[in-house]
């Protein structure tokens, strides 16, 4: 590949047009690059270097349309840092005057009236709107996880979520999302914590305090996933599921020992408890809360 061709790709962030390529190296050389995988065709007349990435597909659409293309749904959530679903496809809004179509790894949407802002040099649906729109397509546990993550990102607050829900009134899934908004908490540190909290609330437990801090007798500070301080009950996700190092597991054991020494009753849970055995999990937590009250 010639330096001139590499410069043409670099000028557009790793993509360029058919006309530019042919002008520099000719059709035969382009066909050779395509066969070897050094270059890939993204759209009609648009090519990228190597295997297409989500960023390359997006820049290719920008080049095709002659303007930055707005992103929405999970792609927008990812840009704000609250994509809980691991979205891989690029979700874009069809620009005025263009007729983009779905392609490999790309989903094109019409979003008349969706509020757009500029974030990291690209038009993006506004944070609260994005969170509500993503949550509408999910079940209750993951919807709450998205709302929690949106609040934790700092890009929107709960009042803005409520306004965005009103703006999307009548759309599919909005009733469930409206019920989730009052439950959303910025303190939730993972989607699994959000799912667990919803299972606890659905089971009739009092709402726990999230990321509650205690100081043990050696002056060490610990944070608890879920805490009921008045009853000195703590629920934690077990370390073997979420931690990979022996150091993390050692800290979990030290935390548990410190809690017991302070008169707390710690209980460990895993994702299977939350998703497949929520009734048993709630019953066990309720038992601990009842024991603490009795004591």
Instruction: For residue range 218-267, list pLDDT tens digits in order.
Output: 999 999 999 999 999 999 998 555 555 677 778 888 999 999 999 999 99
What is the SS3 assignment for 94? coil
Question: For the whole model, what pTM was predicted?
Answer: 0.89
- The tens digit of pLDDT for each residue in 46-85 reads 999 999 998 999 999 999 888 999 999 999 999 999 999 9
Average pLDDT of 163-181? 97
Q: Whole-number mean pLDDT of the chain? A: 92
- The tens digit of pLDDT for each residue in 34-43 reads 999 999 999 8
Residue 104 pLDDT class (50, 70, 90 cuts): confident
Helix (H) or strand (E) run with residue 222 in it: strand 221-228
Residue 172 near residue 132 (C-beta atoms within 8 A): no
CB atoms within 10 A of CB 96: 7
Q: What is the pLDDT of residue 192?
A: 95
Average pLDDT of 194-206? 97
Structure tokens at 114: 């969706």
Given a cut of 80, whether residue 134 has pLDDT beyond it is yes
Given a cut of 90, whether residue 91 has pLDDT beyond it is yes
Given a cut of 60, whether residue 295 has pLDDT beyond it is no
**CA 106 – CA 151 distance, rounded (Å):** 27
- The proportion of the chain whose per-residue pLDDT surpasses 70, expressed as a percent, equals 96
Angle between helices 127-136 and 158-167 (to 10 degrees): 60
In this structure, what are the phi and psi dihedrals at residue 36, rounded to the nearest 5 degrees?
A: -85, -10
**How buried is residue 78: exposed, middle or buried, by Cβ count under 10 Å (0-12/13-18/19+)?**
buried
Given a cut of 60, whether residue 8 has pLDDT beyond it is yes
Q: What is the pLDDT of residue 105?
A: 84
Given a cut of 60, whether residue 293 has pLDDT beyond it is no
Higher pLDDT, 201 or 250: 201
**CA 206 – CA 293 distance, rounded (Å):** 13
Residue 226 region, left (φ>0) first, then alpha (ψ -120 to 50), else beta?
Answer: beta
Domains present along the chain, CATH in parentheses: 3-65 (1.10.10), 67-186 (no CATH), 209-294 (3.40.960.10)
Structure tokens at 254: 């030290």
């Amino acid at each position: 590949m010639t330096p001139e061709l590499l410069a043409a790709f670099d000028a557009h962030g790793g993509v360029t047009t058919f006309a530019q390529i042919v002008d520099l190296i000719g059709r035969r050389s382009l066909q050779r690059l395509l066969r070897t995988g050094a270059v890939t065709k993204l759209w009609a007349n648009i090519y990228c270097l190597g295997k297409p990435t989500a960023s390359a597909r997006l820049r290719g659409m920008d080049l095709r349309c002659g303007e930055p293309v707005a992103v929405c749904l999970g792609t927008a959530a990812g840009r704000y840092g609250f994509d809980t679903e691991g979205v891989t496809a690029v979700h874009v809004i069809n620009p005025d005057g263009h007729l983009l179509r779905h392609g490999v790894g790309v989903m094109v949407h019409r979003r008349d009236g969706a509020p757009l802002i500029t974030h990291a040099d690209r038009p993006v649906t506004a944070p609260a709107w994005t969170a509500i729109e993503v949550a509408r397509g999910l079940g209750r546990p993951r919807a709450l996880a998205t709302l929690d993550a949106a609040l934790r990102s700092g890009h929107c607050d709960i009042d803005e979520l409520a306004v965005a829900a009103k703006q999307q009134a009548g759309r599919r899934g909005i009733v469930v999302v409206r019920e989730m908004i009052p439950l959303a908490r910025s303190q939730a540190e993972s989607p699994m914590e959000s799912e667990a909290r919803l299972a606890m609330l659905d089971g009739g437990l009092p709402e726990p305090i999230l990321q509650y801090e205690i100081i043990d007798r050696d002056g060490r500070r610990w944070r608890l996933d879920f805490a009921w301080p008045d009853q000195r009950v703590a629920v934690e996700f077990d370390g073997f599921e979420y931690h990979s190092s022996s150091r993390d597991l050692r800290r979990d054991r030290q935390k548990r020992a410190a809690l017991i020494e302070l008169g707390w009753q710690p209980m460990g849970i895993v994702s299977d408890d939350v998703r497949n055995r929520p009734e048993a999990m709630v019953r066990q937590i309720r038992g601990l809360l009842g024991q603490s009250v009795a004591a």
